[in-house]
C-alpha cells in the first residue's frame, strides 16, 4: 500500500472510531465537496458511508497484498486492518 493510500486508510479508521463513539442524537457536519461549507448531516448515514469506504479500502488492501504475495514481494502486516 503506498503512502497516500495508507494515510487515507488511517484517516478513515480514525473517523470510523470517532463516529462510533458519539452518543445518540449527536450532531455531525459534513463538508460540502470542493468548498469550505459544512452542513449538518445524519450521523447514521455518515457512519454507514464511512464504514463502506473503510470496507472498500480493506478489500483493496487485501487484493494488493494478494497480488504482491504472488509476485514474491513483501508487504506490511495486516494488523492495520483491524477496526
Domains annotated on the chain, with CATH: 3-69 (1.10.287.370)
Per DSSP, the three-state class of 83 is coil
Distance between CA atoms of residues 40 and 56, nearest Å = 25
- pLDDT value at residue 3: 84
Summarised one tens digit per residue, pLDDT across range 27-48 is 999 999 899 999 999 999 999 9
- pLDDT value at residue 82: 64
CB atoms within 10 A of CB 9: 20
CB atoms within 10 A of CB 54: 19
Query: 61 near 9, Cβ under 8 Å?
Result: yes
Distance between CA atoms of residues 33 and 44, nearest Å = 19
DSSP state, residue 78: G
Amino acid at each position: 500500500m503506498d503512502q497516500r493510500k495508507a494515510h487515507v486508510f488511517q484517516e478513515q479508521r480514525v473517523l470510523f472510531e470517532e463516529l462510533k463513539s458519539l452518543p445518540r442524537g449527536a450532531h455531525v457536519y459534513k463538508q460540502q465537496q470542493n468548498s469550505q461549507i459544512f452542513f449538518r448531516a445524519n450521523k447514521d448515514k455518515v457512519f454507514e458511508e464511512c464504514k463502506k469506504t473503510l470496507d472498500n479500502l480493506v478489500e483493496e488492501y487485501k487484493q494488493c497484498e494478494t497480488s504482491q504475495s504472488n509476485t514474491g514481494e513483501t508487504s506490511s502486516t495486516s494488523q492495520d486492518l483491524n477496526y
